[in-house]
Amino acid sequence: MIRAEATIRLATIRDLEAVVPLFDAYRQFYQRPSDPQLARDFLRQRFQHHQSIIFLALDEQDTALGFTQLYPLFSSVGANRKYLLNDLYVVPEARHAGTARALLGAAADFCRELGAASLSLSTGVGNIPAQRLYESLGWVRDQRFYDYHLAL
């Protein structure tokens, strides 16, 4: 287990190769097959088209420990900007060391600085450790809306 506090910074396309294995492991956590090339291509497109914000957690040796990825959204009703925290992953050996907490804090600070109205996320119903973390940081589970999805 890693004990030292991680450094969190905004990732750039130069960090692509550091983020790829984290992103691939994140997808595997959600029962997708490992596919580093798919991860690389997907992330490269997000960087090249400025379609997401990625924060990267690094240890003292600049080893990547985790990441979070945000997507910009807009609310017509609120007439404001929002963000979706779509991805959050920390390598197993860096869990329970404050890495996820630090990534979530950096994401929230970033959104506040831009004047966003909110930051949203979804997690698996059975992912109790993540739910506990989110709630300990003030995240509130939505009781007013249901999410629906249409596969295309």
- Distances in Å between the alpha carbon of 100 and those of 18, 80, 129, 152? 17, 27, 11, 32
User: Is the residue at 17 inside a domain?
Assistant: yes
152 falls within a domain: no
pLDDT of residue 3: 57
| Closest among 146, 49, 68 to 111, alpha carbons compared | 68
Domain span at 83: 7-136
What is the model's pLDDT at position 124?
86
Is residue 101 assigned to a domain?
yes
Number of domains in the chain: 1
With respect to residue 150, please indicate whether it lies within any of the assigned structural domains.
no
Give pLDDT, residue 4.
60
Which pTM does this prediction carry? Answer: 0.92
75 lies in some domain: yes
CA dist., res. 138 & res. 103, Å (int) = 15
Nearest to 88 by CA among 45, 110, 55, 64: 55
Closest by CA position to 90, among listed 103, 108, 106: 103
Q: What is the CATH number of the domain that holds 17?
A: 3.40.630.30
The pLDDT tens digits along the chain (152 residues) read: 555 689 999 999 999 999 999 999 999 999 999 999 999 999 999 999 999 999 999 999 999 999 999 999 999 999 999 999 999 999 999 999 999 999 999 999 999 999 999 999 999 899 999 999 999 999 999 988 888 888 89
Contacts with 108 (C-beta within 8 Å, 6 or more apart), sequence order: 119
Q: Quick check: is 97 in a domain?
A: yes
pLDDT for position 20: 98
Question: What per-residue confidence (pLDDT) applies to 2?
Answer: 56
How confident is the model at residue 1, as a pLDDT? 58
